[in-house]
């Protein structure tokens, strides 16, 4: 029984898990000592009428009753949507006000609970309500802000002293540098906030404040002006000395590359980087600088358009790298050979276009110099084909045409059937472990 009831999901009625909690409310009294993690989601119907509102209010009330008796909960995930009653017809306002009252009760009770983790996912009207935000702000450890239509939440962000991570997507409603400054100033002041995932809010141009708290940063800036993206990356490299995991995503437009190529980054403060995930374009020299100054790198994942041999040579100096992926057809000549200098390499992913560089000698060097590497994964990454599309290169080209060592080592290339396309191939596995066994055993 403890395994069954340890985690419960109280989402809109059809998705409640376990179902008996809301169908038979008395069940909660018997199982409450076992509940450690609870997900509660209330409100937010696309079409509202009296019947829907009655069901929402009844469901919200049951969630509140269950929450009050589940005294052993340590991790609470709140997805609550309040309503601006002035935006709805008069005949619905009493019901909407009643739902808001129950939601306030849920928030007040959550504020009094002895929680280790409180994940807060407010709807747009909830985020607009300063009263609702103030009730919960002292307990929140993770905040997830998606598609908010208001920007008032940024004014309360600095009060979330327990905040450990924050996710912001499509919630930069105030297109001003003042909004950006409020956000990043609050983040810099929240000592417990170590993880930031953000697709909206660039760091201001004239930034000079240190972030001594952030260890994990994810910037998915695919729709941002190049100058704002560049200033943000420069600030990250200069003012985040504790960073260990960095994900950068930029636009893939060629015009974006032209401006980025004019930016050179020759020094980074984040010398303890362990994992990097870059896509789009990278500022000139950044990977060389990271390779020279970040010896603790273990994971490198690239979907970059402007990567070259010099970048690979520099990264090969990071001898602790265990996982490396190159998922774009990058213009290299001899750079793959330097990867055999990584003695701890255990996972290697290549775009299939790099197969022309994979000759017999290179694969034998991997088998000899990388004892932890058993398989090289080669795929047509970034290609989302379906059954109606023309056949891909794996179905139309011979193994000897795809890989320089394909003819001589044909038996060590293992085709992988596609899970989505009948009689299609997703990737090839190059069996370095078998190659090591057969060719190097003597």
pLDDT tens by residue, 8-64? 888 765 544 554 565 555 666 677 788 899 999 988 767 788 888 888 898 899 889
Closest CA to 339 of 359, 371, 317, 361: 317
**Whether pLDDT at 270 is above 70:** yes
Quick: pLDDT tens for 328-344: 998 888 889 999 999 99
309 in a domain, yes or no? Answer: no
72 in a domain, yes or no? Answer: yes
CA pair distance 182, 166, nearest whole angstrom: 15
In this predicted structure, what is the pLDDT of residue 1?
Answer: 42
CA pair distance 385, 249, nearest whole angstrom: 23
84 in a domain, yes or no? Answer: yes
**Whether pLDDT at 311 is above 70:** yes
Least-confidence region, from 81-95, 179-193, 245-259, 303-317: 245-259
Query: Residues 120-131: what's their mean pLDDT?
Result: 89
- What domain count does the chain have? 1
H/E stretch holding 432 reads helix 432-439
b/e map of 5-30 (b: 16 or more CB within 10 Å)? beebebeeeeebeeeebbeeeebbee
**Whether pLDDT at 201 is above 80:** yes
Q: Which domain holds residue 131?
A: 1-140
* Mean model confidence pLDDT for the chain: 88
420 in a domain, yes or no? Answer: no
Query: Residues 245-256: what's their mean pLDDT?
Result: 83
The set of residues, in sequence order, having a beta carbon less than 8 Å from that of 232 and lying 6+ positions away, is 202, 203, 219, 221
Closest CA to 157 of 174, 176, 134, 173: 134
27 in a domain, yes or no? Answer: yes
In this predicted structure, what is the pLDDT of residue 51?
Answer: 86
107 in a domain, yes or no? Answer: yes
CA pair distance 433, 366, nearest whole angstrom: 10
- Residue 327 C-beta-side C-alpha neighbours within 13 Å: 15
298 in a domain, yes or no? Answer: no
Residue by residue, DSSP assigns 297-354 as: --EEEEEESS--HHHHHHHTT-TT--EEEE-S----SSGGGGGGG-TT--EEEEEGGG
Query: What is residue 377's three-state secondary structure?
Result: strand
Check residues 242 and 282 and name the one with the higher pLDDT: 242
Band of the pLDDT at 371, cuts 50, 70, 90? very high
Per cent of the chain over pLDDT 70 is 90
Quick: pLDDT tens for 384-441: 666 666 777 777 788 999 999 999 999 999 998 866 665 667 889 999 999 999 988 7
Quick: pLDDT tens for 4-22: 678 888 876 554 455 456 5
Query: Residues 219-226: what's their mean pLDDT?
Result: 83
Burial category of 267 from C-beta neighbours within 10 Å (exposed 0-12, middle 13-18, buried 19 and up): exposed
Angle at which helix 90-112 crosses helix 50-69, to 10 degrees, equals: 10
In this predicted structure, what is the pLDDT of residue 30?
Answer: 73
CA pair distance 190, 140, nearest whole angstrom: 12
The CATH number of residue 86's host domain is: 3.80.10
b/e map of 86-101 (b: 16 or more CB within 10 Å)? eeeeeebeebbebbbe
- The number of angstroms, rounded, from the C-alpha of 54 to the middle of its chain's C-alpha atoms is 37
Closest CA to 90 of 132, 55, 50: 50
43 in a domain, yes or no? Answer: yes
**Whether pLDDT at 2 is above 50:** no
The set of residues, in sequence order, having a beta carbon less than 8 Å from that of 314 and lying 6+ positions away, is 287, 288, 289, 290, 291, 292
Strands (E), 131-186: 142-146, 165-169
In this predicted structure, what is the pLDDT of residue 188?
Answer: 97
What are the Cα distances from residue 117, in Å, to 10, 35, 159, 259, 290?
17, 14, 17, 42, 34
Query: What is residue 271's three-state secondary structure?
Result: coil
Check residues 20 and 230 and name the one with the higher pLDDT: 230
Band of the pLDDT at 256, cuts 50, 70, 90? confident
């Amino acid at each position: 029984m403890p395994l069954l009831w340890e985690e419960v999901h109280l989402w809109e009625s059809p998705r409640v898990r376990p179902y008996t909690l809301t169908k038979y409310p008395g069940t909660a009294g018997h199982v409450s000592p076992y509940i450690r993690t609870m997900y509660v989601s209330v409100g937010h119907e696309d079409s509202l009428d009296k019947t829907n509102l009655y069901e929402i209010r009844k469901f919200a009330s049951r969630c509140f009753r269950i929450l009050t008796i589940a005294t052993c909960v340590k991790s609470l995930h709140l997805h609550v949507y309040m309503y601006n009653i002035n935006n709805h017809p008069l005949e619905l306002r009493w019901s909407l006000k009643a739902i808001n009252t129950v939601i306030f009760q849920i928030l007040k009770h959550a504020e009094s609970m002895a929680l280790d983790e409180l994940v807060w996912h407010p709807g747009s009207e909830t985020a607009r309500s300063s009263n609702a935000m103030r009730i919960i702000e002292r307990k929140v450890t993770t905040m997830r802000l998606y598609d908010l239509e208001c920007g008032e939440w940024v004014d309360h962000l600095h009060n979330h002293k327990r905040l450990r991570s924050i996710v912001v997507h499509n919630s930069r409603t105030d297109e001003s540098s003042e909004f950006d400054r409020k956000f990043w100033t609050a983040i810099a002041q929240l000592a417990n906030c170590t993880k930031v995932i953000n697709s909206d809010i660039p760091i201001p141009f004239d930034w000079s404040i240190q972030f001594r708290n952030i260890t994990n940063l994810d910037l998915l800036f695919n729709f941002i002006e190049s100058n704002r993206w560049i200033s943000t990356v420069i600030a990250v490299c200069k003012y985040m000395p504790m960073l260990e995991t960095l994900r950068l995503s930029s636009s893939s437009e060629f015009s974006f590359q032209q401006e980025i190529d004019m930016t050179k980054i020759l020094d980074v403060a984040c010398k303890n980087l362990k994992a990097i995930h870059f896509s789009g374009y990278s500022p000139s020299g950044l990977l060389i600088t990271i390779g020279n100054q970040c010896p603790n790198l273990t994971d490198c994942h690239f979907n970059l358009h402007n990567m070259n041999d010099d970048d690979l040579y520099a990264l090969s100096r990071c001898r602790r790298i265990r996982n490396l992926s190159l998922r774009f057809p990058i213009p290299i000549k001899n750079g793959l050979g330097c990867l055999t200098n990584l003695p701890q390499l255990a996972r290697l992913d290549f775009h299939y276009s790099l197969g022309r560089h994979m000759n017999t000698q290179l694969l034998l060097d991997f088998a000899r110099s990388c004892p932890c590497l058993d398989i090289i994964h080669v795929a047509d990454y970034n290609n989302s084909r379906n059954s109606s599309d023309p056949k891909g290169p794996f179905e139309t080209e011979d193994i000897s045409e795809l890989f320089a060592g394909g003819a001589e080592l044909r038996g060590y290339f293992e085709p992988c059937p596609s899970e989505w396309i009948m009689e299609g191939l997703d990737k090839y596995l190059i069996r370095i472990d078998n190659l090591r066994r057969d060719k190097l055993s003597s």
